[in-house]
Structure 1
Amino acid sequence: MKKIAYIFVLMLAISACTKDLTSLNIDPKNPSNVPSYSLFTEAERSMANTIASSSVNLNIFRLIEQQWTETTYLNETRYQLPSRNQPDNIWSAFYTGALANFQQAKNKLKTDVTDAGTQKNETAIIDILQVYTYYYLVTTYGNVPYSQALDINNPFPKYDDAKTIYNDLLTRLDTDIAALNASAGSFGDADVIYKGDPTAWKKFANTLKLKMGIVLADADNTKAQAVVQAAVAAGVFTSNADNATYKYVSSPPNTNPIWVDLVQSQRHDFVATTEFLSYLKPNTTNQDPRLPYFFALSSNGVYAGAPNGSGNGGLVFSQYSLPSGPSLTPGSVGSLTNPDFPGLLLDYAETEFNLAEATQRGYITGSVATHYNNAVTASITYWGGTAAQATAYLLQPDVAYLTATGTALQKIARQEYVAYYNRGWDAWTLTRRLDYPVLVKPTKAYTDFPVRFTYPISEQNVNVTNYTAASSAIGGDDVTTKLFFDKF
């Protein structure tokens, strides 16, 4: 009897399994219908990973900006960009990894988000992050696909004028800021950066607007002033608590890309440069309080940098300071080589530097020195130093705003450059637009200092007509062709 019952149950199971044979064609690991919030989360992850990465195949700006140098392979330190196709990889990461997913999420939420207020907030947040992503594209390449970029039916998009794109991005930010409503719903935990908080995203958008306005200063002073004034009036970051960070976790696959690139991959060929350490430790008595958080001690128990571009297999990495630092107290960011070290996308320190520059340029009223001091203090305390250490550091004659050498903008740029440690992409924009600090070209450099990245080889081979037009429009597809914001 038990056997009969067993056979009966088995037959029912087989019958149930064969009623819908088409279900056998569904791959549960590759769903055909993905909800908008999943697309949004993936787009955030892709965007943040690109900005935070230290891969020699992708984000090499720490090397270009001489924060780090290489001990073995020197192609990136010496500006040989095509060797690992970084222009292609950045282009792909932003367009297909971030922007395409953001756009799909924006389209999808029209049907899978029924509440009008939530839909409006989520659309605005997505658009803000698309603006953020395009900001890096236009300040890296110049003219890029924009108006036709995300049309899946157009594989050969035209390139739009970079400054025109930039101005449109600012217009989009204004629209997004006006659309955000703190009383309506949003992404919640699907948003890794701000948990969908509309108020936080509004402040982020205004802070990004301030940053973008400052970048325009030499290209369009009138426009820059208007953008900066509007952003400041609406409200920008006021403390490190506002910082936009992407929260990585301790276990793969959502770990800090630097941990992946250096620790998990067991790479030891990136070390501090002598040049960057000269900013952090100008003499034997004075030391930047961030130094222990930026780099580890060498095997000789000292902070030691290698001259930029001096490696080529002849340097023993243990004799130099690796990018690292101690595990800090709970609540601090920790070592940048920890798997859960956060990716920093926009922060209070750079905001105060931008306010210092805006004040110096006469865009807003206030004290340049106060904003300068706030910026340095914010950077030091973010990394794990104390307010007391920041105060002592700011009293040093070569750091204090009133007594440091250089013009007002050079004083700001010098400290902003240090604060941009581990954010080489933003340091690169700083040195291009203010021409300070002056970075000496490494020995045997393949080119002069790159002020833009060349267009991807894939675009040169496939989107030939539009690539050729864009190259001609910007003055030539060369690393020395200055972009629209880089006037001097």
Structure 2
Amino acid sequence: MKKILSILTISSLAMLSCVNGDDDFNNNRSQPYEVPAEPLLTNAQKELMDQMETPSVNLNVFRFFQHYLATTIYRNDARFNFTGTRKVPDNMWLALYTDVLGSLNQAKKIIPSEVKPPQIPQATWDKQQANKLAIINLLEVYTYQVLVDSFGNVPYSEAAKPETFVLPKYDDAKTIYSDLINRLNSAVATLDPAYGSFATGDNIYNGNVADWIIVANSLKLKIGINLADVNPTLAKQTVESAFAGGVMLTNSQNSLFKYDATSPNFNRLYAEVIASNRNDFVAEEGIVDVMNSLNDPRRPFYFTTVNGSYVGGTVGLTNNYADNSHIGNSLLAPNKPGLLFDASEVNFYLAEASARGYNVGGTAQQYYEDAIKRSLEQWSVAPADITTYLANPSVAFSPANWKQSIGQQAWIAMFNRGFESWNFFRRLDYPALTAPNAVAAAAGKVPTRLTYPINEQTVNGTNWSQASSAIGGDKLTTKVFWDVN
């Protein structure tokens, strides 16, 4: 049976090579093509990383939400106007459902049909194949968590099944979250580090099962902490279980997607800024001014200077490129790895968990400081400068105002990870970000969700209407279910 899949990247296609040595093979137009699971996995990982990493105003606008970047020409996206020509929600929805989940779903179908080599014992083969499916499951969970946190109720039980459900229903976001936790528990129980998984195709951990177990528990921690204000019992249970299983505590465990220096597989910041020869972005004054006030040692990595100073523009306004700092050169190397998950993020979750009274083996201050250290270490900040920074009274952890402490420092650490920063902001309500130049649909505020794609309204209208009503209206100001404060 011929396989139908989303468009593969050139790097994925290069892994396929020739499937038949006959001179006339490529002339046989009725020949079905079987694409292995490995390039599908690579494609899904790259599409997911591209979506989370790109600064493209067509795909990812979270750096504007979080006052990381401002624009020089095109103001609409920085003012949160997503219903014009760019249709950001449509593009993000399509990228995640089609390019990521579509490839993962196709890979899941292929793995059970793979033929066992005769030299591999059946028990070993079964374990290896189970590990492969569990890794794919983890990437699906990650992707659905992003979709829920972006839109609220989304297609889930009927999603990625176009042969069965042409117009999928939208599932309740709380129900999806509960199922994602169950899937993570199942993945942790299945993954066996005594056996292999993908020999090729895994661009993040090269098939290392022990590393994927750490990702599974870290993702479980992440989902659990999002539930803290809406379901504290489940949140505490999930977080403590994740911690006990082993989470990402050091940078050596970070989830890095390896870009290379050749088109089209270089880092998306490089692609959109350097390779495209664009001067669309400048640093935003919100993050620049705070980091200046703290004498933050990450500034040379995050930003360029203007006459020796770090200067930011204003989100939602037209800003002069020459008068403001730009994205730092350290972020613009063509082969700079993409960061899907890191130890700084996880340590901030643990700091929050400890502050909430969960049993995670350490104090809130300890994890808070470790989170900052992991971030500074990523940028090769000297140990002496790390010590100086942590000793700054304005950086010191405040038990009485732990949400403010964690919220502000996570915001600084997540400079190149706008979506994750947006989650911290919505959950902790810090830092206090404003949006005075936002369009009326945002009511002068940083959006708390993305509106559903326009295409869903026109093509899947009945299900879209029901979902919109269920969440309280398809608006930028509607909050996702866990954002109750």
Q: Specify if TM > 0.5.
A: yes
For 1:141, which of 143, 147, 151 is the aligned residue? 151
Deviations 1:383-424 (A, max 9, x none): 221222111101111111149xx7111111110111111111
For 1:462, which of 459, 463, 470 is the aligned residue? 459
| Matched residue type, 2:298 | R
Q: 1:128 to 1:444 in 2, by over 3 A?
A: closer
Match of 2:111 in 1: 109
- TM-score under structure 2 length normalisation: 0.90
1:238 shift after superposition? 2.1
Is 1:479 aligned with 2:472?
no
For 2:313, which of 299, 306, 315 is the aligned residue? 306
Match of 1:127 in 2: 137
1:308 shift after superposition? 2.7
Q: What root-mean-square deviation, in Å, do the aligned CA atoms of Structure 1 and Structure 2 show?
A: 1.7
| SS of alignment partner, residue 188 of structure 1 | coil
| Matched residue type, 2:364 | V
Match of 1:6 in 2: none
Match of 1:11 in 2: none
| SS of alignment partner, residue 261 of structure 1 | helix
Cα distance in structure 2, aligned partners of 1:354 and 1:20: 57
Contact 1:70 1:77 in 2 (8 A): yes
Within a 5 Å distance, the mapping from 1:164-313 to structure 2 comes to 164-282=175-293, 286-298=294-306, 300-311=307-318
Contact 1:432 1:451 in 2 (8 A): yes
Q: Give identity over the alignment, percent.
A: 42
| Matched residue type, 1:361 | R
Q: Which has the greater radius of gyration?
A: 1
1:188 shift after superposition? 2.7
Is 1:152 aligned with 2:162?
yes
Cα distance in structure 2, aligned partners of 1:123 and 1:213: 23
Match of 2:320 in 1: 316
1:92 shift after superposition? 0.4
1:131 shift after superposition? 0.2
| Matched residue type, 1:297 | T
For 2:362, which of 337, 353, 366 is the aligned residue? 366
| SS of alignment partner, residue 134 of structure 1 | helix
Cα distance in structure 2, aligned partners of 1:384 and 1:205: 27
| Matched residue type, 2:130 | K
| Matched residue type, 1:366 | G
Is 1:57 aligned with 2:58?
yes
Cα distance in structure 2, aligned partners of 1:200 and 1:139: 25
1:100 shift after superposition? 0.9
Contact 2:38 2:201 in 1 (8 A): yes
Deviations 1:21-72 (A, max 9, x none): 78514499xx732011111111111111111111000011001111111121
Cα distance in structure 2, aligned partners of 1:445 and 1:368: 38
Q: 1:318 to 1:118 in 2, by over 3 A?
A: same
Q: 1:398 to 1:118 in 2, by over 3 A?
A: same
| Matched residue type, 1:47 | L
Cα distance in structure 1, aligned partners of 2:272 and 2:263: 13
Cα distance in structure 2, aligned partners of 1:112 and 1:27: 22
Cα distance in structure 2, aligned partners of 1:113 and 1:39: 18
| Matched residue type, 1:108 | I
The range that moved more, 289-298 or 105-114, is 105-114
Contact 2:251 2:374 in 1 (8 A): yes
Cα distance in structure 2, aligned partners of 1:401 and 1:251: 43
Cα distance in structure 2, aligned partners of 1:220 and 1:46: 32
Cα distance in structure 2, aligned partners of 1:291 and 1:103: 41
Within a 5 Å distance, the mapping from 1:414-429 to structure 2 comes to 414-429=408-423
Contact 2:345 2:371 in 1 (8 A): yes
Deviations 1:130-158 (A, max 9, x none): 00000000000011110010112221011
Is 1:24 aligned with 2:27?
yes
| Matched residue type, 2:175 | T
Q: 1:398 to 1:23 in 2, by over 3 A?
A: closer
Match of 1:401 in 2: 397
Q: 1:21 to 1:398 in 2, by over 3 A?
A: closer
1:252 shift after superposition? 1.2
Match of 2:87 in 1: 85
1:129 shift after superposition? 0.4
Report the count of equivalent residues.
Answer: 450
Cα distance in structure 1, aligned partners of 2:28 and 2:460: 35
| SS of alignment partner, residue 190 of structure 1 | coil
Cα distance in structure 1, aligned partners of 2:376 and 2:30: 49
Contact 1:52 1:343 in 2 (8 A): yes
Contact 2:68 2:287 in 1 (8 A): yes
| Matched residue type, 2:401 | T
